[in-house]
Structure 1
């Protein structure tokens, strides 16, 4: 009888133990895993538990989400290993300026030829002065500068009492140089600061040659032994990032870009500046998407790009690229862009060919901002610093 009770007790105890084991749950925050008998660290068979993986780290870019949406950005470590295409050393500044003069002389510029033809007449009467005024206005000089130039020339011709063509041409040259203003500071802010690179933004509407300008300027800076990094913040135009990266390869500098179509341009710009700071380069150049000056949303986004960049470093130079052949429309573009991003300099492209030339004066007068660079064509070396006297001499042949 005692034996029967003992067997029953053992059975009950065993059943309870089995139920307790089956009812045990894995503690919260752990994941079951099977132990490998060949594991050199834990070894043995059976079951073990692993702690839950830690929460993901905070994003490296600590910028508010509404300012900087996440995007995949490719950041090059440095220029080492970049496949470069051998290119000639950029032509000296003097050579590029000489090319400008030659092209302007060959071009059919209404300003220089029209003025010289009028001022070379045997008699300069009121009808001639009216024609001179009309010629200047057609050359996009602007109303106020036109009146200043005509009044100054009339007074000088009257005081001199001479209508000798060479004498009149010399006076015209002097007055034009005054209008173009050789005293304006046309230097580029591309010197590295003590603790960060110089930051250059390049802006403008579609089709004016922004990306090409960035590439040509990078070529010039590399020739001056500066370390340059490019940021492809034009994320909307097809192949814009690849076009900029190609320019980077040609001159041996890295390009920060996103491989995601339509990526946030502010994010790319932010990463480019961060990479430039980390790599201690001399200049970071940011290429932006073409903006239509009458599209408020696009212009606001351009302002956002600048604000996001300045979370790390102030922007030293904002270059507005304008097509010189667009005349007064270019002036309207310049006004809108200056309100959004505080333009510091103008780059005039396509200044050879059919450009009228007077837009140089009109833009400078309107914005109080100098023309710093001029584009002469499609070649790699067709970018030159603007020089007032050389420009006027080219116009007047």
Structure 2
């Protein structure tokens, strides 16, 4: 996971964690996220920590795998010296950027470094993101041979006009090819879609959903476009070059996704994610929503172990300088207090279908359940069974549900 840095304290050069990070560690799964911060072009909507060739200031993509391996090896030492029990890795996720801009051999080296450091649980999930125009059949077979189990293609839309607004470079007609190549290699397939692009119509969105469903993937993610300040798209909207889509239309897009995906045999298991069955849910993302432990490798990557959260230097040059010097690449961190951890627990668990055990809520939260049922935000049958589970209306208003459940 790599995103904007929160305000925190400076991280120590040795990266050692406080004793609290080890408490109950064996009750939590351990995952690894590897951030590959390279892209061919910068999409106008993107505010991720990514860099094109002209922005790298002398950093070579060809050196990156070796630097990431150094951090993995350092992570093993830091956890051991901090008294955090060693656990085999449950899930690995390569995100970006575009991880598949690197040669498959580089991704293999990074994955095997993780395996050699901690080992994998039986049936570990190993995913990489990929753009449809960044892989071919041979590359995907190479991933499968290296131990990858899953690939998540950034399809985003099947409508060329919408892709052009997003500045995505692939041809929608390539999506069936890469899905078939992934299938032939034995990889599970997820397709990522974005809705709410300026100028997108409900008919456009229906076209994209139906196109994605017709590829028969195992998993589909549908993310509402968030226009982030500082991006090219935000500037275009501010100047009036293109018009943002209003909240009511965004809700209509989401309701259409729920209708079509449900009819096609997909079940929602998190507000933005659908799978054909439980075995194809993203276990890596579920680890985030369930507040398990993960180590984030790479520039700008975030990590979380036992309520301690930290983040790495953002620019690849600054990251490389630190890991090559034998220092932790972390530049800041925070130790979450009990109140903050409880807020995050409720916020994250409320997003997944299995929801929150009502008995684990405060008296205030339990008192709110009847009202949430009356407002059709919470599933009454699930509540009778002891669980807070959002209805379709509740998913559209998830933040409001959380505000009502948490004490003032």
With the length of structure 1 as denominator, give the TM-score of the two structures: 0.28
Larger RCO (CA under 8 A, 6+ residues apart): 1
